[in-house]
A and B are shown apart, each in its own frame.
Chain A
Amino acid sequence: MAAQPSDTLATLKTESETLKTKLEEERAKLHDVELHQVAEKTEALGQFVMKTRRTLKGHGNKVLCLDWCKDKRRIVSSSQDGKVIVWDAFTTNKEHAVTMPCTWVMACAYAPSGCAVACGGLDNKCSVYPLSLDKNENLAAKKKSVAMHTNYLSACCFTNSDMQILTSSGDGTCALWDVESGQMLQSFHGHAADVLCLDLAPSETGNTFVSGGCDKKSCVWDMRTGQCVQSFETHESDINSVRYYPSGDAFASGSDDATCRLYDLRADREVAIYSKESIIFGASSVDFSLSGRLLFGGYNDYTINVWDVLKGTRVSILFGHENRVSTLRVSPDGTAFCSGSWDHTLRIWA
């Protein structure tokens, strides 16, 4: 008698569920203590004075993404109106501006050399613009199309050189591209829905990155083989942002379920949840302070919450933006962080 397709599907589903349960059991075996319990012996953090030190005004619509330059003071930001602006955040001067042919430029990144920026969004592409010292030069003319996806570009970042870009897309995949030729070097399949964010591991020897998506999953990938080497599924909604802990042994994620969570790669599990009854809006963007002790989260309720990573408590809540905080990055030397918002502005906090 021929096997019915529904039998096979049901069997596979059961097998999948059983394996999942087994995996959770294995993970739970080593769960001998909670992070915040061990952190009780650490001194509690005092009050922080964090204020807006600069406000960058110039975008005509929602700011969607930002990235710092390695020089610790320049920033590139992109907006819903198609504009990509390069700022000297220290002086608040705009140094370059490019108008993309599409609206909703959801991703932008600064090249390690500081000589180029990458951006993309609803055009499904990632393009690289070299930054000219000549202010009169038309940047748009030198544009180079690098990545091609079949849905919107949600995030992009250069690997350790100007020559390679890592992208994530609404088409459910991530990919690594050779900038010069536009060739795809590696693709990463495994998410079951849109991939919304990614972050490169900070190690010098690192060949991994983490991604988060609408399937509520975060995945750690081997850049060399394209394989997903670890994955976590504890969030209750879309994962909007992922960021590595500075040691590279853990990463944090921010989600529409209004929580941020910390996952440790060695323990292979979620080790902390950062949430409060009064925080009901999604976290759009997260980043760590240099020591990893603080986690900054930008939220859809216009605020920024500062968390004590080890103790799991909220240290501070920062008001100032007049609409959703959509993007947040700590500067390369940790002296400040920048937040971008749907209120058209960027703010530098220190």
Chain B
Amino acid sequence: MAQPSSCAQSSNGVADESPNMLVYRKMEDIIARMQDEKNGIPIRTVKSFLSKIPSVFSGSDIVQWMQKNLNIEDQVEALHLGTLMAAHGYFFPISDHVLTLKEDGTFYRFQTPYFWPSNCWEPENTDYAVYLCKRTMQNKARLELADYEAESLARLQRAFARKWEFIFMQAEAQAKVDKKRDKIERKILDSQERAFWDVHRPVPGCVNTTEADIKKSSRMKQPHKTRKIQHCQEQLDRHRLKMSKVAESLLSFAEQYLEYDPFFTTPEPSNPWISDDVTSWELEACKEAGQQRVKRWAFCFDEVMKDPVGREQFLKFLESEFSSENLRFWLAVQELKKRPIREVPTRVQEIWEEFLAPGAPSAINVDSRSYDKTTQNIKDPGRYAFQDAQEHIYKLMKSDSYSRFIRSSAYQELLQAKKKKSKNLF
């Protein structure tokens, strides 16, 4: 059989690991523990009819061991992990091509490290052909080909018609070597070899666990150096918050939004995915904001700005205070950042004329520093020309107008409004 392949060394001497290697190692650690003489799974030889079944353990042995030694409370979970380990070929049912784990008296055997997936064998079809051919030469009931294997053999015979003689010779040679082995040893090796092929040429319908994510297979072989030193120096002076403060903040955010999280609080009247009823979506879409939605606007300024209805109400309020130009400027700049690059210079000019130029119809009030910077920026207009001004206006609205909005009678009325007239939709 062909030699193990793709665990090659790259030019700087670091082993170029196959993408699945990390998981193989972890499974192998578990296997090592399972095979431990003192604390592992008891392996035994079972007498059956006229023969002996060497070196086996039962499915329930595996599950029990896993639950006890891997901290798994749930049997279903243990079965699932065990099935995965079987599917990767680390142990296998001795009488089945399908590699799953069953929690019963079914017998399993460990795979020999020679056949472990971590060796990165990538067996060719010619190897498989030799193997199937060899099986047909051996006159044992337990080695009879399954239907899918017979079909594979037929296909391979057609594909390799020209070199079949060579394949046949190899199969003969291997069969000869096998005959010389001790009977018990043969039983074990035959089953292990079969399990190897069950991993690399799985039963149709079964997952091929050797498949790799192409992103990992085509990763860059020469990772490049980055400017770590400069970056680290810049990071040192960062202002950081204490963990206790941060933890409180994360907790209070989650708590505040729990009533809006459909996984905790069922939406009114129901979750469409569960009830098949889209009413809650229709209610969301209509212009009248329900009480729960209005309540959110008081959580923070961002909530008002995120919600189109919230923005509308806030704009109305600002109009009543004769400061709507602030919000309109902010919205215009947001819109500017979303335009194709081609339209930017024109839009910048329009915004400048409307809000900032001397004599502007909707003049906004920004600090002199931002104003000067903006004046400079518009000479070479880009998407971020108004960044400083926009930040200043945002802070102004947040610290000043927003709190008044939340205390305003207009907002309070919306908050008190009962859930009304939703029946009018029909």
CB distance A309 to B22 under 8 Å? no
CB distance A53 to B274 under 8 Å? yes
How many CB-defined contacts (below 8 Å) exist between A and B? Answer: 263
Which residue of A has the minimal Cβ distance to B211? A342
CB distance A42 to B250 under 8 Å? no
Q: Mark A294-331, 1 if CB is under 8 A from B, else 0.
A: 10000011110000011000000101001100000000
Q: With A16-B232, A193-B223 given, is the CB distance from A178 to B251 under 8 Å? A: no
CB distance B244 to A192 under 8 Å? no
CB distance A291 to B258 under 8 Å? yes
Would you call the interface of chain B mostly helix, strand, loop, or mixed?
helix
Contact of B235 among A23, A37, A172, A291 (CB under 8 A): A23
CB distance A293 to B246 under 8 Å? no
Q: Say whether A191 faces chain B, with CB atoms less than 8 Å apart.
A: yes
Q: Say whether B5 faces chain A, with CB atoms less than 8 Å apart.
A: no
CB distance B261 to A334 under 8 Å? yes
Which residue of A has the minimal Cβ distance to B267? A335
Which residue of B has the minimal Cβ distance to A171? B220
CB distance B72 to A278 under 8 Å? yes
Would you call the interface of chain A mostly helix, strand, loop, or mixed?
loop
Min CB distance, B403 to chain A, in Å? 18
How many of B's residues come within 8 Å of A, CB to CB?
A: 85
Chain A residues with CB under 8 Å of B272's CB are: 73, 90, 335
Q: Say whether B49 faces chain A, with CB atoms less than 8 Å apart.
A: no
Q: Say whether B229 faces chain A, with CB atoms less than 8 Å apart.
A: yes
CB distance A291 to B260 under 8 Å? yes
Q: Mark B240-276, 1 if CB is under 8 A from A, else 0.
A: 1111111111110111111011111001000111100
CB distance B340 to A277 under 8 Å? no
A residues apposed to B, CB below 8 Å: 12, 15-16, 19-20, 22-23, 26-27, 30-35, 37-39, 42, 48, 50, 53-54, 72-73, 90, 104, 106, 122, 151-152, 154, 159-161, 163-164, 170-172, 178-181, 183, 185, 189-194, 196, 203-205, 214-215, 224, 228, 230-231, 237-238, 245-247, 249-250, 256-258, 264, 266-269, 271, 276-278, 280-282, 289-294, 300-303, 309-310, 317, 319, 322-323, 333-336, 342-343, 348, 350
B residues apposed to A, CB below 8 Å: 19, 22-23, 26-27, 30, 66, 70-72, 74, 76-78, 80-81, 84, 207, 211, 214-216, 218-220, 223-229, 231-233, 235-236, 238, 240-251, 253-258, 260-264, 267, 271-274, 278, 280-281, 284, 302, 305-306, 334, 337-342, 383-384, 387, 391, 394
Known contacts A30-B243, A293-B258; 10 additional CB pairs below 8 A are A192-B223, A193-B223, A228-B231, A245-B253, A257-B22, A268-B240, A278-B81, A280-B26, A291-B254, A310-B250
